[in-house]
């Protein structure tokens, strides 16, 4: 007998190859035994004979089971593929009959997925992708100094070490890590500093080999060429520079490359794609010298100081991080203590030299280091979360659309359930269309994200270099994975709800009855969209107000009207004053130029001079108080027309005359700090020595920023251009005031004049506006993208409110007809619809404001003079959302008010 009869019916549910083989072997065994018994053998002898004839039945059974299982798997796979193919074909046919629904789902999801793909491509470059051309970046480390700032907080800076400290580190870490030195400079390449400035890395001989970079042409510099005492003038260039500047010429080796007027010989070309290890692009690597390029060897370093270099390490073992940090911390504390002692001894001490907390290791890319995120990068990481919120809002909207579509399919679903379809099969059947549409939307988003991501990087993050492919496999994979998840979520939620329908009630129900229409899910989805939209709009409002505050900062200069010009001469020689005067006069006659002044530093360049000075404490007895450089009062040497040229106002007194004599101008902060009880005008200041003549304060100028857009007020004073302290500092800057509309021509003409006047020098002409633009960029980035994402979320949420209210009105037409027939006024109907629509919106906005307030600390550090709980924003956002919801609900509400009660009653 071949197994129990009941087991045969299990074949309808699932094949069982092992049981089938057992049944088959048992059948043949029984048949052979019966045959031997008919031939006259006893049952015992027949069993022995059959066992001997069948042999090793275990091996036969195992082989037959393996074959049957392979056949069963193929059969199941064929059935599954056939079912999926049929389901997809059915979905395509259904979607082809609902093109509007399909288009709405694709467009909505493509918007949500597109912003996610664009943001992920940036985050991939900053946080995930290893620098192109670098070998095994996971074992590379950058060293950081974790110091206490003046407020006691820990601040991270790239580790700067002297040559002696590096030698001690290298000796102590031998066998644990290999170390290399480097630093960077921004230099003019090829003598054209206006249109071609590049980051140049000065590095030790083992720097490029330590990174694992290969030379595709020529070689890298040797230890002798990179000697700290006498570096050779050789250079390695990037593949990008080789192709763009030298046309990919293979005879480039041995050619000359000028870097700020210093001639270097090209000896090698780095491997294709390698442009350094940081976000900014590097095109040139030169041997590490004792001084920065162009620095005057006659200038002495401050006591206890000297040139310092950054350190990169390759660990021999990933577990060496802790040991490296401990050794480096011990050595750096010793050298810091020595430097601090020397500085205090000569009266040039700074207490924070004793504030080293520890040395930390971090990834090779500086932007990934501890506490070193640029504001643009910080904002972009927040925007990554914002992009996900936009996608969630889009998904909620699509669920609403598909819930409405499920109403139209409720009889179809009821019939399928009545015919015996399983719940899992039904859910898959209802989910398949949304998954298909999501994958199409993902393809659209992936195709467009390459363009939108490039535009985003070019316009808002121009300093970030995206080496390698513009759109790598990770963003593409992320986009399609997000599309798959979004499609599954948006399809499963309506499918599960539809699969729970009561078959009997649906088969009997009319057009205005059924489970779907009584679902509370749609108002919850509207509330979710309102909450998430509120979060985005709050962020947008905070960044817009922050940008407005930053743009309203008065810098003290007429920034749009100013340009600065200087000349870098060989050996850091100062300008010849007569030649500079003739060049300034020639620049003054350029069309569009209004005035030209001279100063030791350009406006907002960050350059200042520090010196001891003395202020009178008792003029009757000639007592003077000494102020060292630690008092942080800086000065500049300027020409008489400097204030009129730059736009700095003289608030009291006057500026310099043609013959300034022993006069001085102080800014408002210095006047308040050093003469708080009286007027600064007429006060005496001695410079450098007590024996110097007394400089009389003749004017008080308004505060002007010296380093950037956002800084605290600082004490500053101006001395006449001929002041001895400003001599020998490597020349002056020419400050040009011109018509902003003609500034481009002024810059080109000025550079031509300076190149003619100083043929041995390298001219630099820069717009002051360009110098401070990077300071505005983070706030513009946050305001622009938060606003764009917030508006997009608001539009999607508005569509969600409209579709929900429209759906509800359609289902309640009979009710409204009855109400109107019973005497309800039209305003009562409109009010009822609007109140029901606004309920979820108001609840969602309240939740959204709570979320925004709870997460405000994530953006607090990125704002300027704006509280994360700014009252104006917190009031404006709910008003905007409620007004938008009212506008979206008004059209369906008016349609409800115009229903014909006769038609509604006739429907019964």
What DSSP line would sit under 173-205, residue for residue?
Answer: TTTTEEEEEEEEEEEEBTT-TTT-EEEEEEE-T
For residue range 559-571, list pLDDT tens digits in order: 889 998 888 776 5
Who has greater pLDDT, 314 or 379? 314
- Provide the pLDDT for residue 737: 93
- Percent of the chain whose pLDDT exceeds 70: 74
For residue range 101-145, list pLDDT tens digits in order: 788 888 888 888 888 887 887 777 767 777 778 888 888 888 877
Which range has the worst mean pLDDT, 43-57, 234-248, 267-281, 461-475?
Answer: 461-475
- Residue 355 pLDDT class (50, 70, 90 cuts): low
Q: Cite the beta strand spans of 245-374 per DSSP E.
A: 256-259, 262-270, 282-287, 310-315, 356-362
Going by C-beta distance under 8 Å and a sequence separation of 6 or more, which residues neighbour residue 207? 180, 181, 182, 201, 285, 288, 312
- Provide the pLDDT for residue 889: 83
Residue holding tokens 């994360």?
A: 868
pLDDT at 96 over 90: no
Which range has the worst mean pLDDT, 25-34, 169-178, 585-594, 725-734?
Answer: 725-734
Q: Contact 351/132 with Cβ under 8 angstroms?
A: no
- Provide the pLDDT for residue 269: 92
- Provide the pLDDT for residue 441: 86
pLDDT at 631 over 60: no
Q: Contact 117/479 with Cβ under 8 angstroms?
A: yes
Q: What is the DSSP string of 461-495?
A: -TT----S-SS-HHHHHHHHHHHHHHHHHHHHHHH
CA nearest neighbour of 486 among 420, 552, 390, 600: 390
Going by C-beta distance under 8 Å and a sequence separation of 6 or more, which residues neighbour residue 365? 126, 131, 142, 277, 278, 279
- Residue 93 pLDDT class (50, 70, 90 cuts): confident
For residue range 43-89, list pLDDT tens digits in order: 887 877 877 777 777 777 787 778 777 877 777 777 667 777 777 77
- Provide the pLDDT for residue 409: 66
pLDDT at 513 over 50: no
Both tokens assigned to 497: 């709800």
- Provide the pLDDT for residue 729: 44
Instruction: Output the average pLDDT for the chain.
Output: 76
- Percent of the chain whose pLDDT exceeds 90: 3
Q: Contact 147/352 with Cβ under 8 angstroms?
A: yes
CA distance 828 to 247: 77
- Provide the pLDDT for residue 453: 67
Mean pLDDT in residue range 684-696: 70
pLDDT at 98 over 70: yes
Q: Within 13 Å, how many C-alpha atoms sit on residue 292's CB side?
A: 16
- Provide the pLDDT for residue 479: 85
What is the 8-class DSSP label of residue 94? Answer: H
Mean pLDDT in residue range 424-432: 74
- Residue 702 pLDDT class (50, 70, 90 cuts): very high
Which range has the worst mean pLDDT, 69-83, 254-268, 475-489, 754-768?
Answer: 69-83
- Provide the pLDDT for residue 298: 33
- Provide the pLDDT for residue 1: 42
Q: What share of the chain is helix, strand, coil (3-state, %, to 5)?
A: 55, 15, 30
pLDDT at 353 over 50: no
Q: Within 13 Å, how many C-alpha atoms sit on residue 691's CB side?
A: 0
Alpha helix locations (H) across 758-825?
A: 768-811, 813-821
pLDDT at 299 over 50: no
- Provide the pLDDT for residue 420: 64
- Residue 620 pLDDT class (50, 70, 90 cuts): very low
Most confident of 419-423, 599-603, 617-621: 599-603
From the centroid of its chain, how far is CA 110? 21
pTM over 0.85: no
Mean pLDDT in residue range 608-628: 56
Which range has the worst mean pLDDT, 142-146, 332-336, 610-614, 830-834?
Answer: 610-614
What are the two backbone dihedrals, phi and then psi, of residue 692, each rounded to the nearest 5 degrees? -65, 155
């Amino acid at each position: 007998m071949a197994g129990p009869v009941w087991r045969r019916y299990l074949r309808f549910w699932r094949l069982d190859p092992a049981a089938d083989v057992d049944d088959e072997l048992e059948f043949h065994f029984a048949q052979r035994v019966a045959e031997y018994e008919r031939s006259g053998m006893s049952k015992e002898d027949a069993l022995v004979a059959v066992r001997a004839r069948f042999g090793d039945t275990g091996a036969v059974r195992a082989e037959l089971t393996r074959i049957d299982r392979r056949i069963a798997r193929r059969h199941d796979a064929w059935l599954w593929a056939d079912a999926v193919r049929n389901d997809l074909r059915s979905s395509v046919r259904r979607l082809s009959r609902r093109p509007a629904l399909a288009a709405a789902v694709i467009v909505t999801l493509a918007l949500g997925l597109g912003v996610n793909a664009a943001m992920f491509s940036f985050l991939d470059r900053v946080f995930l992708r290893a620098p192109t051309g670098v070998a095994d970046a996971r074992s590379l480390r950058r060293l950081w100094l974790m110091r206490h700032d003046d407020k006691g907080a820990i601040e991270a800076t790239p580790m700067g070490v002297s040559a002696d400290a590096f030698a001690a580190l290298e000796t102590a870490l031998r066998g644990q890590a290999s170390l290399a030195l480097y630093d960077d400079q921004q230099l003019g390449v090829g003598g054209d500093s206006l249109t071609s400035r590049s980051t140049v890395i000065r590095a030790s001989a083992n720097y490029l080999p330590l990174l694992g970079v290969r030379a595709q042409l020529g070689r890298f510099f040797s230890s002798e060429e990179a000697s700290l005492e006498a570096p050779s003038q050789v250079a390695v260039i990037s593949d990008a520079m080789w192709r763009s500047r030298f046309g990919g010429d293979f005879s480039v080796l041995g050619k000359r490359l000028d870097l700020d007027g210093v001639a270097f010989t090209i000896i090698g070309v780095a491997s294709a794609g390698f442009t350094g290890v940081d976000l900014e692009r590097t095109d040139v690597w030169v041997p590490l010298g004792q001084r920065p390029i162009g620095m005057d060897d006659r200038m002495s370093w401050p006591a206890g100081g000297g040139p310092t270099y950054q350190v990169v390490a390759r660990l021999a073992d990933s577990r060496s991080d802790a040991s490296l940090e401990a050794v480096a911390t011990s050595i750096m504390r010793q050298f810091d203590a020595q430097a601090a002692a020397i500085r205090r001894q000569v009266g040039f001490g700074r207490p924070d030299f004793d504030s080293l907390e520890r040395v930390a290791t971090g990834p090779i890319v500086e932007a990934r280091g501890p506490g070193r995120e640029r504001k643009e990068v910080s904002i972009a990481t927040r925007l990554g979360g914002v992009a996900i919120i936009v996608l969630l809002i889009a998904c909620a909207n699509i669920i609403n659309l598909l819930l409405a579509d499920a109403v139209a399919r409720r009889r179809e679903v009821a019939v399928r359930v009545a015919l015996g379809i399983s719940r899992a099969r039904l859910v898959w059947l209802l989910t398949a269309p949304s998954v298909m549409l999501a994958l199409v939307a993902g393809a659209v988003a992936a195709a467009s994200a390459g363009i939108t991501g490039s535009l985003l990087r070019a316009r808002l993050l121009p300093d970030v270099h995206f080496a390698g492919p513009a759109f790598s496999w990770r963003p593409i994979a992320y986009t399609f994975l997000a599309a798959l998840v979004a499609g599954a979520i948006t399809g499963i939620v309506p499918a599960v709800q539809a699969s729970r329908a009561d078959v009997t009630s649906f088969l009997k129900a009319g057009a205005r009855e059924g489970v779907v229409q009584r679902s509370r899910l749609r108002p919850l989805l509207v509330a979710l969209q309102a909450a998430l939209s509120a979060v985005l709009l709050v962020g947008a409002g905070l960044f817009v107000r922050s940008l407005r505050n930053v743009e309203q900062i008065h810098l003290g200069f007429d920034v749009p009207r100013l340009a600065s010009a200087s000349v870098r001469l060989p050996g850091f020689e100062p300008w010849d004053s007569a030649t500079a005067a003739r060049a300034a006069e020639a620049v003054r006659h350029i069309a569009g130029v209004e005035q030209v002044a001279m100063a030791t530093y350009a406006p907002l360049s960050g350059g200042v001079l520090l010196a001891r000075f003395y202020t009178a404490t008792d003029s009757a007895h000639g007592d003077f108080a000494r102020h060292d450089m630690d008092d942080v009062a800086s000065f500049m040497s300027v020409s008489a027309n400097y204030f009129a040229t730059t736009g700095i106002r003289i608030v009291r007194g006057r500026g310099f005359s043609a013959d300034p004599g022993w006069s001085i101008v102080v800014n408002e902060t210095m006047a308040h700090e050093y003469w708080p009880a009286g007027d600064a005008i007429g006060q005496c200041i001695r410079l450098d020595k007590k024996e110097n003549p007394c400089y009389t304060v003749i004017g008080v100028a308004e505060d002007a920023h010296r380093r950037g857009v956002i800084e605290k007020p600082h004490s500053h004073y101006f001395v006449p251009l001929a002041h001895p302290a400003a001599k020998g500092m490597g020349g002056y800057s020419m400050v040009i005031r011109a018509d902003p509309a003609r500034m481009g021509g002024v810059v080109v003409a000025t550079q031509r004049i300076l190149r003619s006047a100083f043929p041995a020098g390298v001219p630099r002409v820069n717009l002051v506006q360009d110098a401070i633009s990077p300071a505005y960029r983070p706030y513009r980035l946050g305001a622009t993208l938060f606003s764009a994402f917030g508006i997009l979320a608001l539009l999607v949420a508005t569509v969600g409110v409209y579709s929900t209210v429209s759906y509800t009105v359609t289902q309640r037409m009979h009710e409204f007809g009855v109400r109107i027939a019973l005497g309800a006024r039209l305003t009562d109907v409109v009010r009822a619809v609007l109140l029901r629509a606004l309920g979820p919106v108001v609840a969602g906005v309240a939740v959204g404001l709570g979320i925004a307030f709870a997460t405000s600390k994530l953006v607090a550090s990125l704002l300027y003079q704006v509280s994360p709980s700014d009252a104006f924003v917190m009031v404006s956002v709910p008003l905007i959302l409620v007004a938008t919801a009212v506008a979206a609900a008004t059209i369906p509400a008016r349609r409800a008010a115009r229903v014909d009660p006769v038609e509604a009653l006739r429907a019964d």
